[in-house]
Amino acid sequence: MSLALEFDSKIDHCRPEKKAAWNSQLKPESKPFTPSSYSPVLSNQPKPDPKSNLRITNAEKQNRFLKGECFRCGDKYGPGHRCKTGTFKLLEADDVEEPTDTQEVNLDEKPSEVAKISLHAIFGKSQPTTMKVHETLNSNGVLILIDGGSTHNFISDVLVNELKLTSQMVAPFGVQIRNGDVIRCSKVCRDLSLKLGGLKVVQDFYPFSIDRDDLVLGIQWLATLKTVQANWKEMFMIFTIDGKQ
């Protein structure tokens, strides 16, 4: 009896284990997949102002300048000012001239012409650098002062009225006297014809208040002679006009 039980025990031990039968109606338990939302790590930088990328017109730029505001961010401008981070401004390409309190000065403007007349010519005094001659103007006897100290040719305004000479207006200029005073002159007598040492001299003369002498021939005329020989002791000059000496 004991042998039979032991034999059955060994047989049971050697038998393969039975697997559970497959039930096709059973489904594996599964949970629906729900993707988790991704949250990226954001920096602490402030979001740009949607109004900050607007185009700034020339008028707005000018207006901000007048108000003392920054062109870019619109905040109050001052020393050490910095625009807020994240602001973007698109400025017009056209340059706007900033108004200043200084007045525009034209550096190319030339000063008014200033003529010079010596005191000898005004008061009719003879000096070593002047020479007086008696000649004619329109068949009228006149006293002429040749003066290297006067820049222009002058004629007595009294003589102009006496001979009824024609004069015309010119751009006003100053006539500086040796003492520094400047007298305004705005008329000229064109192409007056003189007889000088048998030679014909045609020059423009400016009416001026001179004493004793009737006319003054200055550098304006002397410069046309080119080479001049002058003897100030004997009081004569040698020059050539139109081939005549």
pLDDT tens for residues 172-210?
Answer: 888 777 666 778 888 999 999 998 878 889 999 999 888
CATH architecture designation of domain 114-238: Beta Barrel (2.40)
pLDDT tens for each residue of 123-175: 444 555 678 889 999 889 999 988 888 888 999 999 999 999 999 999 888 87
Q: Would you kindly state where each structural domain of the chain is located, as residue ranges?
A: 55-91, 114-238
- Reduce the DSSP state of residue 236 to 3 states and report it: strand
- Pairing mode of beta strands 154-156, 229-231: unpaired
Secondary-structure percent of the chain, ordered helix, strand, coil, rounded to 5: 15, 30, 50
> In Å, how far from its chain's centre is CA 152?
35
Indicate the pairing of strand 154-156 with strand 215-217: antiparallel
pLDDT digits (tens, 9 = 90+) for 72-92: 777 776 666 666 654 444 444
Amino acid at 64: R
Length of the chain: 245
- In 3D, which of 211, 217, 101 has the Cα closest to residue 152? 217
Residue 197, both tokens = 């040492």
